[in-house]
């Protein structure tokens, strides 16, 4: 997935949507750059980013949208719920790594910074100043990523390496096909000492 720069007309449409929704009046076609990226788990929703390059520091905002409606990524699960009113979220074994990388960026967690650690980043073009990196120095044999589909509960059970509030862990995740993610267990990446069983879900705001 790659970023694509928006034309001036589409950039102006995004800016108008931001202002009409009560957002900051910091963006104009002349001082800002807007771009979009297709996401493999949505059929008709894109990730949009608009950046004011004249601010110091540079200021960006991210949105989920379909080209006419845009929902600010505010750290809650709300944008996912809103876009699913007009677009299908399709999580599969093939794209669940990408979904988890994006989910842990967009939805703030009560327990600090959390994101999956992959040997090969699922969405490398998201690795910039505004999105979590999933690259981390992990010793050989330390990467874990296993998926099991639970047809009975319409979900996936995922076991993955996680960066969890400053520590490398292995997490058991339950991922519903509606996009809800729950961490059902944690243990240190190496060794069994200090194993912690816990259940955490997204922070509602």
- State how far the Cα of 174 lies from the Cα of 201, in Å rounded to an integer: 10
Q: Which domain holds residue 176?
A: 96-201
List CB contacts of 146: < 8 A, sequence separation 6 or more: 158, 159, 160
Question: Going by DSSP bridges, is the β-strand pair 70-72/59-65 parallel, antiparallel, or unpaired?
Answer: antiparallel
Please tell me whether residues 39 and 121 are part of one structural domain: no
Please tell me whether residues 194 and 103 are part of one structural domain: yes
> Do the domain assignments include residue 91?
no
- Out of 83, 116, 145, pick the residue that ends a domain: 83
Q: Give the pLDDT of residue 139.
A: 73
> Do the domain assignments include residue 64?
yes
Cis peptide before 202 (omega within 30 of 0): no
Dump pLDDT digits (tens) for 71-91.
999 999 999 899 999 899 999
Q: Give the pLDDT of residue 35.
A: 94
In this structure, what DSSP letter does residue 126 have? G
Please tell me whether residues 35 and 72 are part of one structural domain: yes
Number of structural domains, the chain?
2
- Out of 31, 56, 83, pick the residue that ends a domain: 83
Please tell me whether residues 25 and 67 are part of one structural domain: yes
Supply the CATH number for residue 10's domain.
3.30.720
Q: Give the pLDDT of residue 194.
A: 39
The alpha carbon of residue 32 and the mean position of all alpha carbons in its chain are separated, in whole angstroms, by 23
> Do the domain assignments include residue 150?
yes
Q: Give the pLDDT of residue 187.
A: 93
Residue 132: name the closest of 147, 121, 144 by CA.
121
**Cβ atoms within 10 A of the Cβ of 9, count?**
8
Q: Give the pLDDT of residue 196.
A: 43
Q: Give the pLDDT of residue 135.
A: 54
Please tell me whether residues 67 and 18 are part of one structural domain: yes
Q: Which residues does the chain have with pLDDT short of 70? A: 1, 124-137, 191-205
Q: Give the pLDDT of residue 124.
A: 64
Please tell me whether residues 103 and 177 are part of one structural domain: yes
Please tell me whether residues 101 and 197 are part of one structural domain: yes
Q: Give the pLDDT of residue 130.
A: 41
- State how far the Cα of 28 lies from the Cα of 127, in Å rounded to an integer: 25
Residue 60: name the closest of 18, 99, 100 by CA.
18
Please tell me whether residues 167 and 115 are part of one structural domain: yes
Please tell me whether residues 102 and 162 are part of one structural domain: yes
**Cβ proximity of 163 and 35 under 8 Å:** no
Q: Give the pLDDT of residue 59.
A: 87
Whose tokens are 């007309």? That residue is 9
- Out of 49, 83, 117, pick the residue that ends a domain: 83
Q: Give the pLDDT of residue 150.
A: 95
Please tell me whether residues 53 and 15 are part of one structural domain: yes
**Cβ proximity of 1 and 123 under 8 Å:** yes
Please tell me whether residues 101 and 79 are part of one structural domain: no
């Amino acid at each position: 997935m790659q970023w694509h720069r928006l034309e001036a007309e589409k950039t102006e449409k995004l800016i108008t949507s931001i202002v009409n929704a009560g957002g900051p009046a910091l963006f104009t076609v002349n001082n800002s750059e807007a771009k979009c990226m297709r996401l493999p788990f949505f059929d008709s929703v894109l990730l949009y980013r608009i950046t004011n390059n004249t601010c110091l520091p540079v200021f960006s905002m991210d949105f989920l949208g379909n080209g006419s409606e845009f929902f600010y990524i505010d750290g809650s699960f709300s944008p996912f719920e809103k876009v699913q009113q007009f677009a299908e979220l399709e999580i599969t074994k093939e794209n669940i790594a990408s979904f988890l990388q994006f989910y842990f960026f967009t939805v703030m967690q009560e327990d600090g910074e959390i994101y999956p650690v992959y040997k090969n980043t699922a969405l490398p073009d998201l690795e910039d100043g505004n999105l979590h990196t999933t690259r981390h120095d992990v010793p050989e044999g330390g990467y874990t990523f296993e998926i099991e589909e639970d047809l009975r509960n319409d979900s996936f059970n995922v076991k993955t390496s996680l960066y969890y509030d400053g520590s490398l862990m292995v997490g058991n995740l339950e991922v519903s096909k509606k996009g809800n993610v729950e961490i059902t267990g944690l243990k240190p990446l190496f060794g069994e000492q200090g194993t912690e069983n816990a259940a955490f879900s997204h922070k509602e705001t």
